[in-house]
């Protein structure tokens, strides 16, 4: 049908044309035809509903919400309007209101899988994870081959620390998704395997994701984390470097590059990466601690102390910041000052090996051998009791 014929359609014809265009995923054109039908008959609920769905598909959620509200004014018994309204509210992060709409949709008798899936999403956004899982399980009963619901279940089970069950869900999603669409399932499998301390396998699945989606920064970052845990630092650096290429302002990627280059003894490079991370996230104490540590390795102790001071000011409760300053002070022979920071670090984090070793070393350097011996024995007893 050409544009002239479309322009001469009757009101019902505009509505039909709108639905045809909607099902062809031509949402902008569909919205126009639904608008024509509304202008001709403003009280036509189906036209407002159709336009709301089209606008939602275009990401114009506020306008879509207005359409669904208008449908309910015209026909309060139309369950599809509450479902659409819930979807728009969810997209606008108004999840409590969205949940109410989905619950009303079910009470009105519209209880198909899409409704429970959407309800599960709203519950998850509200951190009501057990209830969300129940909704997704209901969808899985209705539609066993619904790959997306298995992905959702896997994510929720991981949040609930039920990792073995989560792994099964992601494996099922991978079976159901064709070819490249399996990437999300493999990503979930990687996350789950990491939580199960199966880091070699996790790295493999994140690697599969990067093969399918070479420009997916989060997968490169995750693979790098697993390789770093396995002390495969050169490979990890390649992953983190790729993340930096894809997302130059990703502070986490720069932090990770700092960690692995430091682990390989390349402290000058590490300093650059930690410095960039600190520029990107000045409120992140870890970046300043990284800088301080790298500077100490480079024997630039006064600068290391300055960076540690920034970290302490940023997060006074960070034991690692105190250890970084204590280490730099010790290197300068300022053991009395160093001891104060190591003692503070021990109080902040009694399980910190660096804090205990630093305190023990500082006590010995100050000639307080009996205190050092008592502290060493106490450390040994605590370790034996664990």
Helices (H) and strands (E) in the chain, counts: 23, 0
Note every long-range contact of 72-76, with CB atoms under 8 Å and residues 24 or more positions apart, other chains counting.
74/43, 74/44, 74/45, 74/48, 75/45
Strands (E), the chain: none
Distance (Å, whole) CA 80 – CA 85: 8
Instruction: Give the closest residue to 44 by CA, choosing from 11, 17, 13.
Output: 11
Q: Domain total for the chain?
A: 3
Per the CB < 8 A criterion, the answer to whether 320 and 300 are in contact is: no
Domain with residue 339: its CATH number is: 1.25.40.10
371 part of a folded domain: yes
Distance (Å, whole) CA 337 – CA 184: 51
Q: Do both 6 and 66 map to the same domain?
A: yes
Question: What does each of the 386 residues of the chain score in pLDDT, given as a tens digit?
Answer: 444 444 444 557 899 999 999 999 999 999 999 999 999 999 999 999 999 999 999 999 999 999 999 999 999 999 999 999 999 999 999 999 999 999 999 999 998 999 999 999 999 999 999 999 999 999 999 999 999 999 999 999 999 999 999 999 999 999 998 877 899 999 999 999 999 999 999 999 999 999 999 999 999 999 999 999 999 999 999 999 999 999 999 999 999 999 999 999 999 999 999 999 999 999 999 999 999 999 999 999 999 999 999 999 999 999 999 999 999 999 999 999 999 999 999 999 999 999 999 999 999 999 999 999 998 888 877 766 55
Q: Do both 317 and 378 map to the same domain?
A: yes
Residue corresponding to tokens 């300055």: 306
DSSP string, 322-373: HHHHHHHHHHTT-HHHHHHHHHHHHHH-TT-HHHHHHHHHHHHHTT-HHHHH
Q: Retrieve residue 152's tokens.
A: 């959702």
Q: Do both 2 and 102 map to the same domain?
A: yes
Distance (Å, whole) CA 185 – CA 182: 5
Distance (Å, whole) CA 7 – CA 13: 10
Full residue range of the structural domain in which residue 75 is found: 1-111
354 part of a folded domain: yes
pTM score of the predicted model: 0.86
Using DSSP, state whether 138 is helix, strand or coil: helix
């Amino acid at each position: 049908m050409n544009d002239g014929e479309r322009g001469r359609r009757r009101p019902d014809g505009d509505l039909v044309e709108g639905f045809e265009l909607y099902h062809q995923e031509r949402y902008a054109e569909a919205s126009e035809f639904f608008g024509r039908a509304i202008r001709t008959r403003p009280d036509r609920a189906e036209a407002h509903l159709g336009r709301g769905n089209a606008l939602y598909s275009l990401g114009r959620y506020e306008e879509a919400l207005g359409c669904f509200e208008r449908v309910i004014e015209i026909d309060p018994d139309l369950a599809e309007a509450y479902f659409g309204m819930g979807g728009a509210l969810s997209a606008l992060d108004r999840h409590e209101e969205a949940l109410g709409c989905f619950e009303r949709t079910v009470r009105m008798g519209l209880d198909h899988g899409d409704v429970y899936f959407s309800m599960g999403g709203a519950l998850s956004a509200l951190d009501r994870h057990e209830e969300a899982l129940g909704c997704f399980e209901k969808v899985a009963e209705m539609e066993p081959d619904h790959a997306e619901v298995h992905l959702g279940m896997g994510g929720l089970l991981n949040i609930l620390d039920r990792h073995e069950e989560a792994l099964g869900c992601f494996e099922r999603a991978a079976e159901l998704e064709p070819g490249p669409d399996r990437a999300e399932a493999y990503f979930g499998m990687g996350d789950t395997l990491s939580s199960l301390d199966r880091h070699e396998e996790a790295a493999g699945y994140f690697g599969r994701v990067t093969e399918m989606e070479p420009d997916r920064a989060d997968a490169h970052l995750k693979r790098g984390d697993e390789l770093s845990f396995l002390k495969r630092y050169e490979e990890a650096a390649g992953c983190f470097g790729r993340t930096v290429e894809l997302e130059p302002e990703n502070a986490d990627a720069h932090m990770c590059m700092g960690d692995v280059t430091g682990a390989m003894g390349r402290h000058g490079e590490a300093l650059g990466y930690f410095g960039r991370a600190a520029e990107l996230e000045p409120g992140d104490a870890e970046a300043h601690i990284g800088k301080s540590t790298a500077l100490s390795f480079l024997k630039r102790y006064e600068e290391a102390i300055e960076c540690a001071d920034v970290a302490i000011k940023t997060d006074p409760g960070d034991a690692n910041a105190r250890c970084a300053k204590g280490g730099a002070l010790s290197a300068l022979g300022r053991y009395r000052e160093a001891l104060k920071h190591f003692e503070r670090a021990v109080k902040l984090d009694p399980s910190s090996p660096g804090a205990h070793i630093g305190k023990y070393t500082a006590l010995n350097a100050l000639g307080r051998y009996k205190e050092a011996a008592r502290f060493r024995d106490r450390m040994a007893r605590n370790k034996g009791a664990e």
